[in-house]
């Protein structure tokens, strides 16, 4: 619920408002934020709003349109701390996911260029298997659907346990064992 018309109209039309807390990103310049906005637009989003928590307070493209309660709620829900910036996209669910995904990869790439690669765990729960591709009129796989489960874990699939644990490092790619049992594919 927001008094900001862009957010409230988006939600009223079945859309969502989501954001990414970019840790340490409050120092981004206006030009850098404008570049990120262009990246969001290229990914299909209409624009990018932000709340940056600096030592002097909030710097924002939308704070004048939000109540103090709405700002505090966004800070609390996103875990925003001094030095962070919350990057926000409002649109239909798929567009928001695509826009924030592209934004996340762009920001991640800029961080990786500055730091040594790290091993990072990712726990995936309830990944959607397919998404409809309206451009070509068919369903496409959302991730690698031909990864084979460990034989001992097959009963978990039947019981409804649907999650993956991934460990990867940009310098150490790893391959999947391909599914070779028709009834599991």
- Structural domains of the chain in order of their starting residue, each with its CATH number: 5-114 (3.30.1360.30), 120-184 (no CATH)
The pair of three-digit structure tokens given for residue 15, joined into one six-digit string: 């859309």
Using the CB atoms, write b or e for 161-173: b if 16+ within 10 Å.
eeeeeeeeeeeee
Cα 96-102-11 angle, rounded to 5 deg: 10
Q: What is the pLDDT of residues 109-148, one digit of tens each?
A: 887 667 666 676 766 666 677 788 889 998 887 766 666 6
Q: How confident is the model at residue 152 (pLDDT cuts 50, 70, 90)?
A: confident
Q: How confident is the model at residue 173 (pLDDT cuts 50, 70, 90)?
A: low
**Cα 147 to Cα 124: distance, rounded to the nearest angstrom:** 14
Q: What is the pTM of this model?
A: 0.67
């Amino acid at each position: 619920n927001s008094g900001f018309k862009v957010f409230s109209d988006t939600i009223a039309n079945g859309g969502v408002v989501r954001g990414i807390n970019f840790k340490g990103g409050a120092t981004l310049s206006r030009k850098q934020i404008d570049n990120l906005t262009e990246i969001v637009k290229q990914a299909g989003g209409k624009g990018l709003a932000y709340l940056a928590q600096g030592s002097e307070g909030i710097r924002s493209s939308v704070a004048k349109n939000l109540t103090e309660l709405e700002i505090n709620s966004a800070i609390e829900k996103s875990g925003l701390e001094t030095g962070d910036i919350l990057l926000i996209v409002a649109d239909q669910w798929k567009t928001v996911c695509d826009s924030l995904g592209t934004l996340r990869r762009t920001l991640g790439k800029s961080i990786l260029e500055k730091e040594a690669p790290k091993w990072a765990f990712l726990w995936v729960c309830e990944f959607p298997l397919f998404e409809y591709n309206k451009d070509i009129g068919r369903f496409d796989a959302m991730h690698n659907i031909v990864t084979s489960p460990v034989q001992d874990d097959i009963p978990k699939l039947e019981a409804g346990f649907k999650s993956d644990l991934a460990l990867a490092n940009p310098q150490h790619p790893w391959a999947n064992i391909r599914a070779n049992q028709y009834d599991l594919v």
